[in-house]
Structure 1
């Protein structure tokens, strides 16, 4: 066992493991807060769910806008300092949330958080792509997910316990985690932005046209659009489900925190195994399969009435997560030109930014208009449509390859 772990460690550069360790720390802090953020805000402001959910929409709008900015910034100025800026800004925001007590103050903080998030995520994805050759990327992204999910396995459980005592402590510890990771990057990470010499061969026949170059790839744009639409199911499960379980079934934060912990533990123990199986198949059919599990899991929440019902729903979507997330990450990374990796990963990160805004808004509207259970029927429809869209894209890809032969 130790020999196998040593071989795995030796397959990747030391900076990759620095990133993996830092992501564990930052995810530990972040997931102490985010599963319970809407609960915290709803208790502070005493407003209807649909109005509270608009804060996530504000966050997502700024996230989408800064995704387009973060990509070119990481391609021009490098990955390292863009990541550090995003981490430190997030730390400051967490501290200010302790004192926020009006809708306007929360709206401003959520807008700033949405702006800072892409700086870190896109910089990290681009740095990993720089460090790891194409043949190893699928496994590398799977390992990064395991590192993140070790943090996720602990964060919600710890956050739920601390939140039941004091949200101020929770926010302070989360901020400290961001600062610690940023400090590690300052002193130990090296810039990985490819030099012109290294990218000249790759890009000599591919003029730099910024986002216009990417957006002309109709198949890629279609995949991102369908994937982003389907990712609304993930936003419903991770943002709306904690509030739904708390308000409708009285499940407190310290108990609910065990649900995302279960998700993380499944990823930790089964991600490498699943990735070894899925990499044998074509990307788009695997993405469709993963999305089908998201549709099924989201819809199944409507049938749950207690902790174990919601726990089972999250287990179902976790199977989809194991399939779709590293597969889609490696797919986009392999498509990207070396001097445009920030932009490609920026477009890819739009999926979560879009879903984080549209999901809570859709869920809040459905809940207020048709009852709380309708949130999950809506998620089932969204996931099913996305699954069908990915299957159609796969069929078109197969047909085009056949014609080309």
Structure 2
């Protein structure tokens, strides 16, 4: 279905966020290689390594909940700064940790402080970009994330040869650099809650009563359970096939390279589509890509599966983010962003934990075919809910436009 046309130049504040994110992600080595680091350098089993990554997800759930609330209370900028500078310090602590308890505690804290920035940054983009341009803005932002991911994935395997602590130190340095850029160039974007928006004030209870939004969050949890297997179980599947860590780094970089090469083109196509109707297609493609991993045992075949699920990811990310922004009332964007991020944090715990359990108790084939099944369930759910979601976005967008017009008239 067509959407409102008429592109405008994206705001300068958006491009500062874009640059800060690129700097941060280009040095984001640790989470990518954490499973390999724990199993090869610290003697963790696959299940124990999955538990550590799961604890990162538990911390992230705490972080996004608190971060979303504080982004609406304190503002987006202070939450983002606190998150970035705290993350840099805890990355160094995790790299120096040796005992299992220390590593688990550091992973929990790292998840909390790192993911606290997610709702603040998402709310910033929704604040400064008009609704008609959000699909393009989020697609462009996602492009920066993956450009950085491609760089970090390709470089991390070789940097690790100089010592794994190098990865932690470099990640901390780029995270701090991103914080300095936000401190220097970003001003607060949180909208004033005027008397005309008084009826939109609310708490977490308000979010919990929004059934359309809760269904969207639950459906995203299923999609995230599939997508996050590439960070936990995919590297172990490649090791099972006798492939070295450098090969995993280069192959997973295919994901970032494809997104860098094609995301802007895909976003241009998606600009003429309603996000609610793109989501079911993305879920099918994601499920198929991960399902095909059951038959991959060579670098070429693994690369082929990555191409497929990357296509699904390219459809999912901008439409997902635009739909989230569209379903969020203006005065509660931080809390809606934070609550939605719980689905990712829940998946950060459940994906490696369940993936490790299925892999240890059954085999890799069962894991990847299970991913296909979950993807198809998510696609059916998204298709059934698409009309209700689209209607909610249209209603909230109309209210947002009416408020802007009212405020301008009063002023």
TM over 0.5: yes
Within the candidate set 371, 378, 381, 1:379 is matched to 371
Query: Which deviations, in whole Å up to 9, do the C-alpha atoms of 1:21-74 show, x marking residues without a partner?
Result: 1100111111x2222111101123323211221112211122112322111100
In 2, Cα distance between equivalents of 1:148 and 1:53: 24
Question: Once superposed, what is the RMSD of the aligned Cα atoms?
Answer: 2.1
Within 5 Å, which residues of 2 pair with 1:268-279? 268-279=260-271
In 1, Cα distance between equivalents of 2:321 and 2:172: 27
Within the candidate set 12, 20, 40, 2:18 is matched to 20
Change (3 A) 1:176 1:244: same
Equivalent residue number for residue 169 of structure 2 = 172
Equivalent residue number for residue 405 of structure 2 = none
Aligned length, in residue pairs: 388
Query: Which deviations, in whole Å up to 9, do the C-alpha atoms of 1:177-231 show, x marking residues without a partner?
Result: 001111111122111111234xx43x2343x221222222212211210111221
Change (3 A) 1:13 1:41: same
> Contact (CA 8 Å) 1:230, 1:385: kept in 2 or not?
no
In 2, Cα distance between equivalents of 1:170 and 1:62: 21
In 1, Cα distance between equivalents of 2:380 and 2:13: 39
Change (3 A) 1:18 1:50: same
Moved over 4 A (4+): 395-401
Within 5 Å, which residues of 2 pair with 1:62-141? 62-141=59-138
Q: TM-score, normalised by structure 1?
A: 0.91
Equivalent residue number for residue 313 of structure 1 = 305
In 1, Cα distance between equivalents of 2:390 and 2:344: 27
Within the candidate set 53, 59, 77, 2:50 is matched to 53
In 2, Cα distance between equivalents of 1:109 and 1:13: 37
Partner of 2:183, secondary structure, is helix
Q: Say yes or no: does 1:204 pair with 2:198.
A: yes
Within the candidate set 322, 327, 341, 1:349 is matched to 341
In 1, Cα distance between equivalents of 2:92 and 2:191: 35
Gaps of 5+ in 1: 1-7
**Which has the higher mean CA deviation after the structures are superposed, 144-153 or 249-258?**
249-258
Within the candidate set 222, 243, 246, 1:254 is matched to 246
Change (3 A) 1:215 1:279: farther
> Contact (CA 8 Å) 1:296, 1:316: kept in 2 or not?
yes
Q: CA deviation at 1:395?
A: 6.0
Equivalent residue number for residue 207 of structure 2 = 214
Q: Say yes or no: does 1:389 pair with 2:381.
A: yes
Equivalent residue number for residue 162 of structure 1 = 159
Gaps of 5+ in 2: 1-6, 394-411
In 2, Cα distance between equivalents of 1:42 and 1:230: 26
Q: CA deviation at 1:338?
A: 2.1
